[in-house]
Amino acid sequence: MLTGEAMKNSLPELRSERDMTQSDLADALNVSRQTVNAIETGRYDPSLPLAFAIARLFKCKIEDVFSDRK
């Protein structure tokens, strides 16, 4: 979903801690690398199922991955 107010996220840090590339993360989530890049740069907010899949993959709460920019 494209929105005017994108969420902040900690995906680059979470990936870095695990030595994952955007492609590695994309493969693990079954999405494109472009999708991961768009999420990381705030151009795209993931669907709720994708956001939960990201949190599950990194074994953390969704709030630890995503927060609003306000």
d(CA 60, CA 69): 20
User: In this model, does residue 69 exceed pLDDT 70?
Assistant: no
Res. 67 pLDDT band, cuts 50 70 90: confident
Say what the pLDDT of residue 1 is: 45
Q: What is the pLDDT of residues 1-30, one digit of tens each?
A: 444 566 799 999 999 999 999 999 999 999
Domains of the chain as residue ranges with CATH: 7-65 (1.10.260.40)
| Alpha carbon distance, N-terminus to C-terminus of the chain | 19
d(CA 5, CA 20): 27
Say what the pLDDT of residue 2 is: 47
In this structure, what DSSP letter does residue 61 have? -
Amino acid 22 reads: Q
Provide the 3-class DSSP secondary structure of residue 66.
strand
In this structure, what DSSP letter does residue 34 have? H
